[in-house]
């Protein structure tokens, strides 16, 4: 009798195990929602998912949250981990999987090194938890090609109609009111002077700020303000002041858009002296140039020369009445490529780091450049300084630099023909360091909301990284731009 009982017990065990002959394990996810599972049923023609789910709940417990009958055969269920493990052995079940968090596509693999270093992971990937879709980014440069693939989102370009102020022959975006006078290159017709504009510095800097592949803030809208001629890529402070004035004026249809940021990779020599003394002579607000007064207003600091006090700027309509107050926006500029620590160029000398030498209501964020080893960028080339001298081409440093970003061998959108919408180029310079920082400010504002210029600078400092060795010869300023998460995932996604 004992032998019969043992045999019977074994037979019962075998038969019982046959009832639960599924794969027999829970598929674990990296970011699971505890107590929630997806149950994939084995495909059987005519299976009623609702009835099957009810039968399984009756046997194993839990609560069905949703059934899937079309694309897949299964259901979502809430239950304990032990119940889910038991359910996974049922012969009708193909597998049980933990419900997991789903993110927007915020990981870019095979990212350019200038993007990879922003999250300080150095793993060839770029994590961006904010695309900055609500941010308006102004670009004062050579114009932006609206049709380049870097700016296309859901079949539409993120390059908005801006404006253009240029002079001289050979320019086709000159006539005010012309359908092409928007600061960008739509290439909707035949332009005989297209070739001189093939060097499209503005298109590249815009793609570093907001391009789909090469950009930091992949959802930001770009407003191009073109001030450079096609013929020789020069301009004057008149046109630069025009552009800044337009941003604040009632002519700007985006003037109320916030958050916003301005990026400009331009400079002007502000001294008629060619002496290379440093530190530079202390500049007071009354000695600031016209351009610097304009930038101060853009930053939110109007200056009353009679009282010596600052006030919130108000924009006066051309009919003579005060139209509206202006809330300042962050301004990011390149530190220039003269391998110098002299403070004889603007707007870089308006840097926060230079406040001891330049007394100003507001400050720009001046960006120097590093190479792919985080060393001060320089190369075997020379540039002129306006005094008949040449310098090794490389990033400026010293008091007129606030923070550093990548500047060497940066890839971005380029213009080679009217149909080459995916063309790229690779260049070096602090011109491309500035839009990296401007793009990060766009992301920070998407995350935290509209920031004053001072708040944006504070956020950059708290999020910056330090290289393993000093960047500058003096070692006093070694901030590298970064967006520190403390992990390589996004707990919250932002558009």
Percent of the chain with pLDDT over 70: 71
Residue 393: band (very low, low, confident or very high) from pLDDT cuts 50, 70, 90: confident
| Rounded Cα distance, 229 and 272, in Å | 25
Q: What local confidence, expressed as pLDDT, does residue 222 receive?
A: 95
Does residue 102 have a pLDDT over 60? Answer: no
Does residue 178 have a pLDDT over 90? Answer: no
Q: For residue 160, what is the DSSP state?
A: P
Residue 127: band (very low, low, confident or very high) from pLDDT cuts 50, 70, 90: confident
Q: Which of 408, 394, 376 is nearest to 478 (CA)?
A: 376
Q: Which residue has the higher pLDDT, 234 or 137?
A: 137
The answer, as to whether pTM is greater than 0.85, is: no
**Which range among 229-243, 430-444, 445-459 shows the weakest confidence by mean pLDDT?**
229-243
Contact between 480 and 371 (Cβ < 8 Å): no
Give per-residue pLDDT as tens, 252-309. Answer: 889 999 999 999 988 777 665 554 443 445 556 556 677 777 788 888 877 666 676 6
286 three-state secondary structure: helix
Q: What local confidence, expressed as pLDDT, does residue 401 receive?
A: 92
Q: Which two tokens stand for residue 48?
A: 């009623």
Determine the average pLDDT of the residues in 424-433.
92
Q: What local confidence, expressed as pLDDT, does residue 198 receive?
A: 42
For residue 495, what are the contacts with CB-CB under 8 A and spacing of at least 6? 104, 130, 131, 133, 134, 219, 446
Q: Which residue has the higher pLDDT, 20 or 212?
A: 212
Give per-residue pLDDT as tens, 351-388. Answer: 888 888 877 777 899 999 999 988 899 887 766 666 66
Residue 17: band (very low, low, confident or very high) from pLDDT cuts 50, 70, 90: very low
């Amino acid at each position: 009798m004992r032998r019969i009982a043992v045999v019977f017990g074994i037979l019962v065990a075998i038969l019982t195990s046959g009832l639960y002959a599924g794969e027999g394990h829970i598929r674990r996810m990296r970011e699971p929602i505890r107590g929630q599972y997806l149950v994939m049923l084995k495909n059987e023609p005519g299976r009623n998912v609702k009835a099957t789910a009810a039968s399984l709940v009756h046997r194993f417990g839990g609560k069905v949250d949703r059934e899937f009958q079309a694309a897949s055969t299964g259901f979502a269920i809430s239950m304990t981990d032990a119940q889910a493990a038991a359910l996974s052995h049922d012969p009708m079940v193909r597998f049980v999987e933990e419900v997991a968090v789903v993110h927007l596509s915020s990981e870019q693999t095979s990212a350019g090194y200038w993007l990879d270093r922003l999250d300080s992971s150095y793993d060839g990937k770029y994590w961006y938890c904010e695309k900055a879709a609500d941010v308006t980014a102004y670009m004062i440069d050579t114009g932006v090609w609206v049709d380049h693939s870097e700016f296309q989102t859901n079949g539409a370009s993120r390059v908005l109609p801006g404006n253009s102020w240029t002079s001289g022959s050979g320019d086709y975006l000159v006539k005010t009111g012309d359908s092409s006078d928007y600061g960008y290159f739509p290439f909707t017709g035949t332009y005989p002077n297209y070739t001189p504009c093939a060097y499209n510095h503005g298109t590249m800097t815009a793609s570093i700020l907001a391009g789909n592949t090469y950009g930091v803030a992949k959802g930001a809208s770009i407003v191009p303000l073109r001030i450079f001629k096609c013929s020789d890529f020069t301009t004057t402070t008149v046109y630069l002041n025009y552009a800044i004035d337009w941003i604040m004026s009632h002519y700007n249809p985006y003037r109320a858009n916030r958050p916003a940021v301005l990026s400009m990779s331009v400079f002007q020599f502000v001294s008629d002296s060619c002496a290379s003394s440093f530190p530079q002579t202390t500049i007071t607000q009354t000695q600031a140039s016209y351009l610097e007064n304009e930038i101060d207003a853009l930053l939110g600091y109007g200056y009353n020369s009679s009282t010596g006090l600052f006030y919130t700027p108000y924009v006066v309509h051309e009919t003579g009445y005060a139209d509206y107050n202006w809330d300042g926006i962050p301004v990011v500029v390149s530190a220039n490529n003269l391998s110098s620590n002299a403070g004889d160029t603007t707007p870089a000398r308006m840097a926060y780091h230079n406040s001891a030498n330049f007394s100003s209501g507001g400050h720009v964020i001046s960006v120097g450049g590093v190479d792919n080893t985080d060393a001060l960028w320089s190369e075997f080339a020379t540039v002129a300084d306006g005094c008949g001298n040449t310098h090794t081409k490389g990033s400026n440093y010293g008091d007129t630099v606030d923070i550093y970003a990548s500047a060497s061998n940066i890839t971005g959108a380029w213009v080679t023909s009217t149909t080459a919408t995916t063309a790229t180029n690779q260049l070096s310079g602090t011109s491309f360091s500035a839009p990296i920082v401007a793009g990060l400010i766009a992301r920070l504002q998407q995350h935290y909301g509209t920031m004053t210029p001072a708040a944006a600078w504070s956020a950059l400092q708290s999020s910056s990284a330090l290289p393993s060795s000093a960047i500058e010869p003096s070692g006093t300023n070694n901030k590298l731009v970064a967006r520190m998460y403390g992990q390589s995932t996004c707990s919250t996604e932002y558009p």
